[in-house]
Every structure is written in C-alpha cells, then in structure tokens.
Structure 1
Amino acid sequence: MLTEALEVNTESIIFTKNETQRVKLLRALSINQWLKNILIFIPAIFATVAWSFDLLSQLALAFLGFSFIASAVYVHNDITDKKFDAQHPEKKKRSIASGEISIQNARILQFLLIAVGATLLFLISNKVFILGIAYLIINLLYSQVLKQIPLVDLIPIISGYFIRLLIGEDIAEAPLSIWILLMVGLLATYLVLMKRQGDVQLFTTTGVQHRKTVVFYSKMNLPVTTMILIHAITLVFAAYIHFVFSQYPEEFSNLPYLTIPLTYIAIFSYHRSAQKRIQKDPISTLLRNPLSLICVGISFILLVVTLYPALG
C-alpha cells in the first residue's frame, strides 16, 4: 500500500497537468538560490585553466547536480520550519509554509531531488559525489540540531560556500587561492549575519522568535559587525588584486585595480538595500539592486580580460 501511494504521489508530482501546481513545485525548489552555485566555476576561471568542452560540461553538470541537492535542502528546511515560517512576514508566502504543497508531496519532491542530484554528481567523480553528500548531511544536521546553537549555527551555512568551491577545484584540478577562500569566507559570514540581523529585527518589532538563537544575536551589535565585515572583504580583495595582478604585463596589470572601488560600491550598495529589505532573501535583494549588479559585472569583465589577455 505504501509503495503504491508513493508511486501515485510521485507520478502526480512529475506529470501533473495542473500548471498552477507546477509553479508551486518550482517555487519550492528556490531556484533563485541556484545563483550561489556559480561558485563552482570560480576555481577554473581564476586559475586560468585550459578550457575545453569536457571541463565546461563537467562544471555545468556539477552545477545542476549540486543545485538539485541544494533544493532538496531548502525543501527539507521549509518542512522543518513550517510552523515558524507561517509567522514570518516573508517566509509565510512559501509554497510549503502557506500550505500550497502538502508535507507528503514535499517529502517526495525532496527524495527525487536528492536522487537526481546525487546521481549527477556521482557521474563526475567520487570526490564530487562525497562533497555533495557531505553538504546534504551537514545541512540536515543544521536543520535538526545545529541551528539551535548560537555561533555554531553559522558554520554549516558558511561551509556550504566552501564546498561549492571545493567541487569546482576538484573538477578543474585547480588549487584554490588563499585569497579567494578568505573572501568567500568573509562574504558568507556577512550574509549569514545579515539574516540573523533580520531575525533580531523581527523579534524586537513583533515578538516572533523565529529561531531560539535570536536572543543571543540580539545582544550582539550586528550592524557594526556587518560593517566591519564589508571593509574586511574589501581589504582582502584589494590584497588579492595587488599580490596576484602586480606581476602581469603593464598594459593589463592596472585594470584589476579599478575593481577595488567597484567592489566596495557593490557591497555597500547591497548593504544599504539589504537594510531596507532586511526580511527579504539576499539573492532577491541583490537582483533588485542594479548598481551592485553593474559594478560586479564590470569588475568581472576587467578581471577576465586581465586573466585571459587573448580576450582583450
């Protein structure tokens, strides 16, 4: 009976003719969060590896496979936090929190995402598969236990950014720069603390305690901490530009220095937007900030032109 029910529900999820239901299922995947998985491409880009169709296809496959695993984690978190999300001004609109998708269908969707994502990662290499499963296990532990422990709750989220880089490093066979690791670590810490700041604001204005750790974080001066992190990210980025690109030919070596003020403007502009949209998702805040997107885009082009002179 259980097997038959699973088959029926799985079929209804995949082959549903209800377009509205498909949209609800897609919303549950948090596809906008897949933007974070671009980090998988970073090691190959900044190590100036010899690009080939095989490398690009493996990176793309890893991006897709990891995105499915990440979506499974988002679905699991939404299932676990359904009661709390229903009280949140933004999260209550999510498919699971609002009741648009049943818990049973959400669990089936989660299983399918894990199965497909893990299979795709396994096709690349054993190490990539292990890293993907490690990400899944760490986040399941976070959802069930670790998110209740102040400061420790930051580690699983930050580690997710590093796992993305490690997957890209393994595929490209390109060692990661310590500067990139530092920048990503600081940026991840900043983004997590901004979310905690949103939890604190919600707690102080409405009394809704979305997380048990909110009392601890309410005693921290998070606005000052996040501003310190913004300047730390910029300083580390400036050091990376100086130590890496000062050795390039003179006609290219000056271009990367232009990215330092652009990076600061991008982060600071995002920070101002995030303060106004403190309850919003970081990715949606970024995508609604044209100035940050333009600065990041120009910086990326300048760095790529320097790293790959033939493109200039």
Structure 2
Amino acid sequence: MIIRRIIMSISAFIRLTRPLHIIKNISVFLPAFFYGVITEWRLFHNLVPTFIAFYIASCIVYILNDIFDRKEDALHPLKKTRPLASGKITVRSALIMIIFLSILLLLFCIISLRASINVLILFYIILNILYSSFFKKVIILDAITVSAGFILRIVAGFVSIGYNTNYYLVIWIFLLAIIIALAKRIRRFPQTDRDAFETTIVEQTYTILSPIVVIVYYLFVSSLQSPYLLISTILLQIGLIRFVYYLFYENDYHSPFEILFLDRKMQTIILSYIIFMLFFIYLID
C-alpha cells in the first residue's frame, strides 16, 4: 500500500512537469540540424546542456502555471485531472518542487552554460511568469508569448553552436508556433459566445498566417543553398493542411502538442519530413 502511494506520488509529480512537452525544448537542436552539423560531437555536446537547462526551466513554469490555474482547471472537463487541480499534489508541495528545480537550474547554468544563454533562460522564465499571471488571458498575447519561448530556444541553439542567427528560421518558427499555440482556442462546438469569437479569430489568423509560413520557410531553405530542400515545402504545406483539418473536423479539444502523439497521419507527415531532410542534408549535400 505504501509503495503504491509512493509510485502514485512520483507519477503525479512527473505529470506536473508535462513530460510530453519536452518536444518544445528539442527546438534548441534545430539550428544545428538544418545546418548539417548536429552530428559533430563538439557542437552536439554544447547543445545538450542548453536543452537540459530549458527543460528544467520549462518544468518550473509549467508548475507555476498550474498553481495559478488550479481553480479554473478543477472546473474544466479535461484539465481537472491535472495533479494540482485534482488535489493529488498540494500547492505547498508544488512550491517546494519549484524551489528545488530553481536551485538545480541555477547551479546547472553557472557550471555548464555561458552567460548569454543564461540571460536567454532568465528572460524565458520572466516571460512565462508574465504569461501565467496575465498574458494568457488575451488571445493574441497568449500566442505571441508561447511563440517567443520558441524564439529564445532557437537563438540559444545558434549561440550554443557559435553560428550567426538565421532570421528566416527564427521568423518561420515564430509564425509556426503561433499557429500551434492558437490551436487550443479552437472549439468545434462552441459553448459560449467567447468560444465562438475565439474560434473565428483563429480561423481568420490561420487564413492569413498559413501562406506566410510557407513563404518564409521557402526563403529559409533557399538560404541553405540546397535546391533539394525546396521540395520539403510541399511536406510543410501538407502538414499545415492536416493540422488545421484535424483541429476543425476531428477534434473537440486537445493540447496541440498532443496531436503529434494522437494523430497517425500527422505523425507520418512529420516522420516523412524528418527522413527527407536527413537524407538531403546529411547524405546528399
């Protein structure tokens, strides 16, 4: 019985850090991946501490966000199962975990990272504190703040490998992240006027941003000076179409990142894209 309780407690603390969202922090590797240097051990070795630091920082802000939202989450049909909303973890325990992770992050950053990356991580945490306390209440600020987190990771990735920042990549990821972040505002069956309004705003934003995302991506892969990579624009378009279709016609509510783990067609498109890029970046070029 005691062992079972310990296992359940550990499981609840792990869920509190949202392990599925680790995929966000993988974005620090994107600069090295696209520039064909991720297989160079020295550069990869520089990226791993950056990834770990952003992962710890993201765990801190997820816990903080759940503390802010625990009362609202308790009334939500899906979010009510979250550890804090369901009462499996107390606010006091969550705060102790934040303190522990903050000390761990501080020591790790001092020992393993350069000052410029530490500044980016600090800015990431401050940005997310503002997000949890205010920005997420405004649909546009919500999406922009989430997208800014990806920009910080991308820039940190460039700093880690010592490359100049490619602003086409930064803008592309920023716009793509806005599309993904806005997904949580979609309701196939709006229950309130606010839901209907937010869904309409997202539809209009998708109409505007989708072609821009494709154009900026085309400019980015063109800057890599490989004609083969331009073909990947087709896969990006297919992926965007599938993502939007899933949201509006096959899904009532899910975290946009859960779609990557739930939708087989989306997984197939992403896997095809990764294989295509690996082949032409690392084998052909």
Aligned CA distance change for structure 1 residues 216 and 153 (closer, same or farther; 3 Å): farther
Bigger CA drift: 34-43 or 295-304? 295-304
Q: Is the 8 A contact 1:29 1:71 kept in 2?
A: yes
> 1:244: which partner in 2?
223
- Of the structure 1 ranges 86-95 and 263-272, higher mean CA displacement relative to structure 2 is found in 263-272
Deviations 1:70-120 (A, max 9, x none): 011011010101111112121111111111111110111122222223332
Q: CA deviation at 1:153?
A: 3.4
Match of 2:198 among 211, 218, 227: 218
2:163 counterpart of 1:174: yes
Matched, 1:164 2:153: yes
The Cα of 1:19 is off from its aligned counterpart by: 0.8
- State the 1:159 CA deviation: 0.9
Deviates more, 1:163-172 or 1:111-120: 111-120
TM norm structure 1: 0.81
Structure 2 contact 186–247 (Cα < 8 Å) conserved: no
**Counterpart in 1 of 2:125?**
136
Q: Which amino acid aligns with 1:118?
A: L
104 and 285 in structure 1: CA distance in 2 versus 1, 3 angstrom threshold: same
Distance apart, 1:196 and its partner CA? 2.4
Q: CA deviation at 1:224?
A: 3.1
Aligned partner of 1:97 among 81, 85, 92: 85
Name the structure 1 match of 2:233. 260
Q: Which residue of 2 aligns with 1:292?
A: 266
Describe the shift of the 1:84–1:59 C-alpha distance in structure 2 as closer, same or farther (beyond 3 A).
same
**Alpha-carbon distance in 2 for matches of 1:161, 1:278:** 26
The answer to whether residue 59 in structure 2 is matched with residue 86 in structure 1 is no
Q: CA deviation at 1:17?
A: 7.2
Paired residue for 2:251? 277
Decide which of 54, 60, 72 is 2:42's aligned counterpart. 54
Query: Are 1:69 and 1:118, in contact at CA under 8 Å, matched by a contact in 2?
Result: no
Q: Does residue 234 of the first structure (1) align with residue 214 of the second (2)?
A: yes
Q: Which moved more, 1:286-295 or 1:46-55?
A: 46-55
Is 1:65 aligned to residue 65 of structure 2? no
C-alpha separation between the residues in 1 aligned to 2:223 and 2:280? 11
Which range moves more in the overlay, 61-70 or 285-294? 285-294
Instruction: Please say if residues 154 and 189 of structure 1, whose CA atoms lie closer than 8 Å, have aligned partners that are also in contact.
Output: yes
Task: Tell me the percent identity.
Answer: 23
In structure 2, what is the Cα distance between the partners aligned to 1:150 and 1:238?
28
Q: TM-score, normalising length from structure 2?
A: 0.88
The 1:258/1:295 distance shift into structure 2, 3 A limit, reads farther
Question: How many angstroms apart in 1 are the aligned matches of 2:242 and 2:108?
Answer: 37
Distance 2:120 2:201 in 1: 34
Structure 2 distance, partners of 1:221, 1:62, is: 35
Tell me the secondary structure at the aligned position of residue 116 of structure 2: helix
User: Does the 8 Å contact 1:270/1:289 carry over to 2?
Assistant: no
* Runs of 4+ displaced beyond 3 Å: 48-52, 214-221
How far apart, CA to CA, are the structure 2 residues paired with 1:41 and 1:148? Answer: 31
Alpha-carbon distance between aligned partners in 2 of 1:115 and 1:222, rounded to the nearest angstrom: 39
Number of aligned residue pairs: 281
Do the aligned partners of residues 278 and 179 (structure 1) sit closer, same or farther apart at CA in structure 2, a change above 3 Å counting?
A: farther
My pick for the range that moved more, 171-180 or 219-228, is: 219-228
Q: Which deviations, in whole Å up to 9, do the C-alpha atoms of 1:23-49 show, x marking residues without a partner? A: 111110101001011110011122334
Give the aligned partner of residue 185 of structure 1.
174
What is residue 100 of structure 2 aligned with on the other side? 112
Distance 1:165 1:301, change over 3 A: same
Match of 1:41 among 3, 19, 29: 29
User: How big is each residue's C-alpha offset from its partner over 1:129-185, in whole Å with a ceiling of 9 and x where there is no partner?
Assistant: 111111111111121233334533333222101011011111011123222112111
Counterparts of 1:55 and 1:17 in 2: how far apart (Å)? 42
Cα drift, residue 16 of structure 1: 10
Distance (whole Å) between structure 2 residues aligned to residue 152 and residue 67 of structure 1? 23
Runs of 5+ consecutive residues of structure 2 not aligned to the other structure:
none
In 2, Cα distance between the equivalents of 1:79 and 1:69?
16
- How far apart are the structure 1 equivalents of 2:165 and 2:186? 31
Which has the higher Rg, Structure 1 or Structure 2? 1
AA partner of residue 244 (structure 1) = S
* Partner residue, 1:121: 109
User: Quick one: distance in 2 between partners of 1:150 and 1:19?
Assistant: 38
1:24 has 2:12 as partner? yes
